[in-house]
Amino acid sequence: MRQNEMFLLKLGEVVLKGQNRRSFEDRLVANAARRLKPCGSFQVYIRQSTIYAEPVTETCDMEAAYAAARQVFGVVSVARAAPCEKSIEAIVETARDYLADAFASARSFKVESKRADKNYPMNSIQLSQAVGGELAEAFPHVKVDVHSPDLTVHVEIREKHAYVHAPAVPGAGGLPVGMGGHAVSLLSGGLDSPVSSWMMARRGVELEMVHFVSPPYTSQQAQDKVLELARLLTAWCGRLRVHIVPFTEIQEEIRKNCPEEYFTLIMRRFMMRLAQAVARRAGARALVTGESLGQVASQTMMALAATDDVAEMPVLRPLIGMDKVEIIRMSREIGTYDTSILPYEDCCTVFTPRHPATRPKLEDVRAAEARLDVEALVAKSLEGEEWVWVKP
């Protein structure tokens, strides 16, 4: 760890909030502190729309903390910075020492200043000129280029100190987890559901996961794969509870008693009922699915309407207008792609109809499902529910 190095976490759309902004800020600070805790002891606090994360001991893992800070929803950018006194001399000395490696590899630079402390005697332009002139003398091999420099030196004059840093890196954006309500996400082993879960967490939704298993048709490896996907999501969401719900008997009864073209639709209706029951027990107010319009037969408008027919709470579908290429790109970006493509099938692929109904009539689906004792099947499945806490 470099001496006196710390992090500046800049807030995103939280700054646009009105009278409830304080509650968003408090939640964001708490989330950031919790995420940094495994990396060492940090003092985390907020001033002037910026979260300061200062290491308390020299044993802090700054690289791990830097990565963790970038995955906190609500933070739009993260900078590694060095604090110093607010004098020109101290700022120049800090920039010269702290950014020496960056200057060694740069051919041009400029200084950008921000004066959050309005009582500071120099304005931003004057400060940039003063610091830039001194640094130009200190590094004569690096020319000043205010239009397209290799290196931009940032100077921020704040309440207590000045802060010097190179350009910040993008953060996760979005809203602090916990400010968007509580929902249950249907997590399969595919590409879509981890991405949809990530997208809702980015909107501040606190999630629990529900996963359906159908042994012996699905394997323990398939369940372990889903738990690994949940673990990968905890880097963004914090710890997650995964509800494991047995689904074998329901699928076997559907196969025995219902027309083949409705297998998947009736299966999805049962999943909605079960997820809804889990959500009510957990105090959640919505369900999240990874459905994308038209991607498969069960995701046409009429098929989605048949699924939603049994839903009594909002069903959030963040991927509804996305294509597979976009979903794959996002799964790579959030780190779930390699696990999602592992060849372990989940219950969604069990008893797949050869010719699924793409334009089902709701009354026909209801009539096919009426051959089953729906309430008894749901109750028995819920009796076998187990859950696992997954941590980062």
Closest listed residue to residue 9, CA positions, set 69, 55, 85, 97: 69
The burial of 97, by beta-carbon neighbours within 10 Å (0-12 exposed, 13-18 middle, 19 or more buried), is given as: middle
Q: Cβ distance 44 to 138 under 8 Å?
A: no
Residue in 103, 351, 130 with CA at minimum distance from that of residue 247: 351
d(C-alpha 281, C-alpha 289), whole Å: 19
**28/45 Cα distance (integer angstroms):** 10
Write the burial class of residue 79 (CB in 10 Å: 0-12 exposed, 13-18 middle, 19+ buried). Answer: buried
Q: Coil, helix or strand for 157?
A: strand
Nearest 5°: the CA angle 290, 250, 276 is 45
pLDDT in the model for residue 1: 45
Q: With H, G, I as helix, E, B as strand and everything else as coil, classify residue 159.
A: coil
pLDDT in tens, 43-58: 999 998 899 999 999 8
Written as six digits, the tokens of 58 are 């020299």
The confidence score (pLDDT) of residue 354 equals: 84
Q: Of 243, 244, 287, whose CA–CA distance to 268 is shortest?
A: 287
> What residues contact residue 44 under an 8 Å CB cut-off, 6+ apart?
29, 32, 33, 36, 51, 52, 53, 54
In the prediction, which pLDDT does 3 show?
58
Task: Give the Cα separation of 152 and 168 in Å (integer).
Answer: 10
Q: Which amino acid is at 54?
A: E
Q: Which stretch of DSSP H or E encloses residue 210?
A: strand 206-213
At residue 239, φ and ψ (nearest 5 deg) are -60, 150
Q: Which residues of 216-236 are buried (b: 16+ CB within 10 A; e: fewer)?
A: ebbeeebbebbbbbbbbbbeb
d(CA 336, CA 233): 8
Residue 2 confidence (pLDDT) = 55
Which class does domain 6-170 fall in?
Answer: alpha beta
Q: Is the pTM of this model over 0.85?
A: yes
- What's the distance, Cα to Cα, between the start and end of the chain in Å? 23
Residue with tokens 């046409």: 300
Q: Give the model's pLDDT for residue 193.
A: 97
The residue extents of the domains of the chain are 6-170, 182-390
Give the Cα separation of 125 and 138 in Å (integer). 20
Highest CATH level, class, for 182-390: alpha beta
CA pair distance 155, 139, nearest whole angstrom: 17
Instruction: Convert the pLDDT of each residue in 168-215 to its tens digit.
Output: 999 999 999 999 999 999 999 899 999 999 999 999 999 999 999 999
Strand partners, 240: 390
Q: What is the DSSP string of 232-284?
A: HHHHHH-SEEEEEEE-HHHHHHHHHHS-GGGHHHHHHHHHHHHHHHHHHHHT-
Spatial separation of the C-alpha atoms in residues 98 and 140, rounded to whole Å: 17
Report residues of the chain scoring pLDDT below 50. Answer: 1
Q: 184: Cβ–Cβ under 8 A, 6 or more apart, which residues? A: 207, 208, 209, 210, 243, 275, 278, 279, 282, 284, 286, 287, 288
Q: What is the DSSP letter of 140?
A: T
